[in-house]
């Protein structure tokens, strides 16, 4: 049976905007690689103020390339904020939830930025790029919010700079990612551990390379700084070199659609879906990004209170037992009573079944049978842990077996 793929709500919104695309286009930010994406036949759409490739050959094909071979994403719409000078570490220790003091130079970690109520303003990756310099990578929709918040909280000997518009960020993801990238650098990539980074030459270009990922697969992020959209020659050179190096192993350029479906299969959160300023890291089940024991930070007191009183809702994963596509906002039912709601949902290209994440009572544990109300009718589903795929066959842990 052919897969009929339904995108999560962000991308449904994107598609509805297509009728206004010509009018909006002149006001959107342009990627350094916009010309390349168009030459590859990408469907370009407005997203978070940027003109972005939604898909090239097709979302399912691109998704499966990431799971089985390698995919290349242009994610230059993500935000990059430099925080540097003597008090940069103490500033980020106060404004983010993970423990900055544990980062050595070229270490990276996942963290969150909270408001005073413990609500998530954004989830971020933080790289320590020098002794007194850090790069904070934000979600595209939150760049100005987080930059403004950091400037508002600024104190001591700190310099905060938004370098998003001149930073190229590519993501090379999949089980063949190391094989592809190794052809373009003399650095031994098997020495680069997960959540580590290094500054090396890739295709003759000075590049910050990290190994984190947002697809569940092994892979790398490549950053070129000082790359304005008005002068994209180096950016185009790096992109083309990666595609050429991956040609023999089935590399595919991938758009926002495959980025959404791969992250959902992996059980990763997306801001404005699983995360917002009314949701805490404990509710979202990303408490590994919070280190209460490190001392004071913005939002800590609220989290301490929540830990003492207990949670009223938590993030859950759901796999459809009946036919149907779960989507953001659909109700989750147990014995006919509403117990939660869907935050992200799609048809898994890998499993050809509906999968979803959402929020429900902490009493609803994996193995529980629930229903998702789809077009007014309850459709059976099971609460499951993520990732939704078999981790012995897919995902970065394959590399360790």
What angle in degrees, to the nearest 10, is found between the helix axes of 256-266 and 9-17? 170
In the chain, what's the furthest Cα-to-Cα distance? 61
Helices (H), 174-299: 177-182, 233-245, 256-266
Between 18 and 263, where is the model more confident? 263
Average pLDDT over the chain, rounded to an integer: 94
- Read out DSSP for 324-364? ----TT-EEEETTEEEEEEEEEEE-TTT-SEEEEEEE-TT-
Tokens describing residue 31? 């990627």
Strands 252-254 and 71-74 come out as parallel
* Statement: residue 258 has pLDDT above 50: yes
SS3 233: helix
Distance CA 340, CA 123 (A): 23
Give the C-alpha distances (Å, rounded to integers) separating 17 from 10, 164, 197, 281: 11, 24, 37, 31
- Identify the bridge partners of residue 316 per DSSP, sorted by sequence position: 358
Provide, rounded to the nearest whole percent, the portion of the chain with pLDDT above 70. 93
Give residue 3's pLDDT band: very low, low, confident or very high (50, 70, 90): very low
Residue whose C-alpha is closest to residue 111's, from 94, 129, 87, 133: 94
Q: Does domain 312-384 have CATH number 1.10.3720.10?
A: no
pLDDT at 19: 45
Average pLDDT over residues 159-177: 98
pLDDT the model gives residue 398: 82
Tokens (6 digits) for 326:
């779960």
Q: Mark residue 38 as left, alpha or beta (left: phi above 0; alpha: psi -120 to 50; beta: remaining).
A: alpha
pLDDT digits 0-9 by tens, 302-315: 999 999 999 999 99
Separation CA 256–CA 141 (nearest Å): 14
pLDDT score recorded for residue 18: 47
Residue 26's pLDDT band, with cuts at 50, 70 and 90, is low
Predicted pLDDT of residue 4: 40
Residue in the structure block whose two tokens are 């990756």: 125
Backbone angles phi, psi at 55, to 5 degrees: -160, 160
* Residue of 25 and 233 predicted with greater confidence: 233
Pick from 358, 359, 350, 340: nearest CA to 395: 350
Neighbours of 392 (CB within 10 A): 9
Q: Please, which residues have CB within 8 angstroms of residue 338's CB and are 6 or more apart in sequence?
A: 331, 332
Residue 313: what pLDDT?
A: 98
Residues of the chain with CATH 2.40.30.110: 312-384
More confident residue, 4 or 213: 213
Edge-to-edge strand list for the sheet holding 71-74:
197-202, 205-210, 219-225, 167-173, 71-74, 252-254
Mean pLDDT of 331-348: 97
| Distance spanning both ends of the chain, measured CA to CA | 32
Query: What local confidence, expressed as pLDDT, does residue 17 receive?
Result: 43
CA–CA distance, 170 with 61 (Å, rounded to integer): 19
The residues near 320 (Cβ < 8 Å, ≥ 6 apart) are 326, 353, 354, 355, 356, 372, 379, 380, 381
The contacts of residue 166 (CB under 8 Å, 6+ apart) are: 225, 226, 227, 228
Res. 155: pLDDT tops 80: yes
What residue has token string 């972005």?
52
Q: What does the alpha-carbon distance between residue 336 and residue 369 come to, in Å, rounded to a whole number?
A: 12
Nearest in space to 173 (alpha carbons), one of 79, 62, 257? 62
Least confident of 8-17, 57-66, 231-240, 326-335: 8-17
Q: How many Å apart are CA 60 and CA 306, to the nearest integer?
A: 40
Sheet (strand 159-162) strand order: 108-114, 120-130, 133-138, 79-84, 159-162
**Mean pLDDT score, 354-374:** 97
Instruction: Answer yes or no: are the C-beta atoms of 356 and 267 closer than 8 Å.
Output: no
Q: Domain 1-309 sits in which CATH superfamily?
A: Probable tRNA modification gtpase trme; domain 1 (3.30.1360.120)
Q: Where in the chain is the domain with CATH 3.30.1360.120?
A: 1-309
């Amino acid at each position: 049976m052919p897969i009929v793929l339904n995108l999560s709500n962000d991308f449904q919104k994107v598609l509805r905007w297509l009728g206004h695309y010509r009018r909006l286009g002149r006001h959107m930010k342009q990627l350094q690689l916009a010309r390349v994406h168009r030459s590859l036949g990408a469907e370009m759409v407005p997203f978070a103020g940027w003109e972005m490739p939604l898909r090239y050959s097709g979302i399912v094909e691109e998704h499966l390339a990431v799971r089985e071979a390698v995919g290349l994403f242009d994610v230059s719409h993500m935000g990059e904020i430099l925080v540097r000078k003597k008090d940069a570490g103490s500033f980020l220790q106060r404004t983010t939830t993970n423990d900055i003091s544990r980062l050595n130079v070229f270490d990276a970690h996942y963290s969150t930025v909270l408001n005073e109520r413990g609500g998530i303003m954004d989830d971020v990756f933080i790289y320590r790029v020098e002794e007194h310099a850090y790069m904070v990578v934000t979600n595209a929709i939150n760049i100005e919010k987080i930059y403004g918040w950091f400037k508002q909280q600024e104190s001591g000997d700190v310099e905060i700079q938004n370098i998003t518009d001149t930073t190229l960020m590519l993501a090379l993801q999949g089980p063949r990612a190391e094989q592809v990238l190794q052809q373009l650098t003399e650095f031994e990539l098997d020495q680069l551990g997960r959540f580590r980074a290094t500054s090396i030459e890739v295709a003759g270009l000075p590049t910050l390379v990290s190994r984190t990922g947002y697809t569940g697969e092994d892979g790398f992020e490549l950053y070129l700084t000082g790359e304005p959209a008005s002068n994209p020659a180096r950016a185009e050179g790096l992109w083309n070199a990666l595609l050429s190096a991956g040609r023999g192993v089935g590399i595919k350029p991938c758009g926002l659609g495959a980025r959404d479906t791969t992250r959902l299969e992996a059980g990763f959160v997306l801001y404005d879906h699983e995360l917002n300023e009314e949701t805490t890291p404990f509710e979202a089940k990303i408490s590994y990004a919070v280190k209460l024991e490190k001392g004071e930070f913005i939002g800590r007191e609220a989290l301490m209170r929540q830990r003492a009183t207990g949670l009223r809702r938590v993030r859950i994963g759901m796999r459809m037992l009946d036919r149907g596509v779960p989507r953001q906002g659909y109700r989750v039912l147990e014995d006919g009573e509403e117990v939660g709601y869907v935050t992200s949902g799609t048809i898994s290209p890998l499993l050809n079944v509906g999968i979803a994440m959402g929020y429900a009572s902490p009493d609803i544990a994996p193995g529980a049978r629930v229903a998702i109300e789809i077009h007014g009718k309850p459709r059976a589903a099971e609460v499951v842990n993520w990732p939704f795929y078999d981790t012995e066959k897919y995902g970065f842990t394959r590399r360790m077996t």
